[in-house]
Amino acid sequence: MDPNRADAGCEMTTRDAAIVIGPWLDDLVRRHRDRRPQRFKPLGRIPALAAAALGLLWAGEAVAHIKWFAPYDLDKPPTPIAEVISRDFIYLFLLSTMCVYAFFWIDRLVYRQKFFAERLGRLTISQDMAFLVMRVATSILFSALFIYDLTDRSFYLTPELLTHDPAIKWIHLLIAISVWYRPTAILAGIGILILYVLAVRAHGMYHLLDYPIFVGIGVYFALANFGKSLWVTLRYVTLYATTGITILWGSFEKWGYPNWTYPLLEKTEWLLMGMSPQFYMILAGFVEFNIGFILLSSASIFSRLIAFGLAALFFLAVFEFGIIDAIGHLMIMTVLGLLTVRGPTDARYFLVLSDKSLWTEAYFMTGLYMLALNIMFLAYYGLYYLLQHPAG
């Protein structure tokens, strides 16, 4: 097949999608203006949604973990897929697909032109400095958990994973101390993995699927004494991959369990920016999923910029949600900071198709995006019935 014709087909698909989405955006503005008073003037079509997406991230809800601040019940199954895939969901999916295509066309262009590549190479921190940053952050986290253990509120790894086991505080203290020394860092890694397993036993495997990042951190420290480049690469690939998957998985909570967040939105109505709560949650899910996917697959400077922006948003959310949010998100902020100053590993470049046109490569990445969304959908719902309600 002629590549030029294939590229032309890709462009035609994008134009067709734009024709379909355009009238919906006009209708969307009218419908949501009628549902609730607008606090912001409509900005147009795609710019309006882009501003809303940035606004909801700035507001903090898209990066806050609702289980830490509101009641939740995993005994109730997630919203049926037939109800999740509403008209708004379909059109936002089409719009996000167009945005992903445009992003990866630009991303691969920047990568091929090597924009800022030389300067970034000079600014990249060493592996030893990155390891020090991880050790400091991990020590702070588990020292804070140990202090919480001395009160009536003790938890394994995150604020909602409560425990009354008196031995947990000693594991926290062991991790906080052992992580400071490279020879004993393996103990910290094993300790984190043990805490994850104990949390699974107490709260269920499905619940702990929210936090694969802690598996990545455990592996990162457990392999710290293996100095060969292959092991170093494996440590960072695992750390970055589990962080990205944590973000991807969290987006589905906004679609599967939006009712958990509605009470928070009622108390902080300014977060909605004139949108209905239902539409807000759909948009928040897409924003979070797209960011997670881009973090895992961008090949250019954009991966660092987005990691920096997301880390800054997590940091700013602390001012809205307090110390609990700071403790819960400390490690994800640290990993995003490392991705910013150290850059991604070479492993992600297997997704780069340097011998193809930009149009074809963007088309390939858009296909991976749609595949990832479908796989995560099947995993989120399928694993619920396998792990949370196996007899259901």
Question: Looking at residues 245-249, what average pLDDT do you find?
Answer: 94
pLDDT for position 326: 86
Mean pLDDT of 345-369: 89
Residue 209 has pLDDT above 90, yes or no: yes
What is residue 36's three-state secondary structure?
A: coil
pLDDT exceeds 80 at position 368: yes
Q: Is 177 helix (H, G, I), strand (E, B) or coil?
A: helix
| Predicted local distance difference test score (pLDDT) of residue 122 | 64
Number of domains in the chain: 1
Domain ranges, residue 197: 3-388
Residue 206, pLDDT above cutoff 60: yes
The winner for highest mean pLDDT among 51-55, 182-186, 195-199, 266-270 is: 195-199
pLDDT reading at 176 higher than 90 = yes
Q: Which residues of 23-47 are buried (b: 16+ CB within 10 A; e: fewer)?
A: ebbeebbeebeeeeeeeeebeebee
More confident residue, 21 or 138: 138
103 φ/ψ sector (left φ>0, alpha ψ -120 to 50, else beta): alpha
Mean of the pLDDT values across residues 60-75?
A: 72
Confidence (pLDDT) at 215? 96
Q: What is the rounded average pLDDT for all residues in the chain?
A: 82
pLDDT at 43 over 60: no
Q: Does the pLDDT at position 304 exceed 50?
A: yes
Residue 38 has pLDDT above 70, yes or no: no
Most confident of 113-122, 221-230, 352-361: 352-361
Q: Please check the confidence at residue 328 and state whether its pLDDT lies above 90.
A: no
Q: Is the dihedral of CA 144, 149, 153, 154 positive or negative?
A: positive
